[in-house]
Amino acid sequence: MSDEPVRTIVETVERGDLPFQEYFVHQRCEPRVRGFRFRGVEAARPAPGVLEAIHDAEAVVICPSNPWVSIAPILAVAGIKSALEAKTVVAVSPIIGGEAVKGPAAKMYRELGIVPSALAVARHYRGLLSGFVFDQVDAEQEDAIRRLGIATRVTDTLMRDLSGRRRLAEDVLHFISTLLSSEREP
């Protein structure tokens, strides 16, 4: 995202401010989260080619990663979020049935006073997304997500093996194709 250092700081209740690796590895995500900061982001600029790649892309996919500590630092770098706002952006939810498939995202949502859900992730990215892909387990949230002005695709998002990864990639690409087609219609 940038050649300048941007450090994720996890603000915790018990231990104060911790570098992410300290929180994640040494503290095993145990301290309660109260917020996040990205030290150095004010001076960071997109790495060479980043804005050009976004500009040249037909669409951008935000993979099912932690919105707080994986995606937010990227979006915080000057120019990246605004470049994405001009594109068709589709995110895949990292939350299935109220839990993260991997990592502390659901725990972070809870500790910040937000019920972890596909809807919470869609709200997190509100204003950025053209489309949102989430698991069939959470299908009852589809209407609420659509009311945010975001197109939806409900599918099996759990990638257990290579064929599951391929199936989800094909679903996402088909969804993007549908979105791009509807955007081109008068």
Q: How far is CA 87 from the centre of its chain?
A: 16
Number of structural domains (the chain) is 1
| Domain annotation covers residue 89 | yes
| Domain annotation covers residue 163 | yes
Compute the average pLDDT of residues 73-78: 97
Residue 113 sits in a domain whose CATH number is 3.40.50.10680
Please tell me the distance from the alpha carbon of residue 47 to that of residue 35, in angstroms, as a whole number.
26
Question: For the chain, what percent of residues have pLDDT higher than 90?
Answer: 97
| Domain annotation covers residue 142 | yes
Give me the domain span that covers residue 68. Answer: 50-184
Residue 72 has pLDDT above 70, yes or no: yes
Candidates 105, 129, 128; CA nearest to 115 is 105
| Domain annotation covers residue 175 | yes
* Prediction pTM value: 0.93
Place of tokens 């053209």: 130
| Domain annotation covers residue 19 | no
DSSP three-state, residue 159: coil
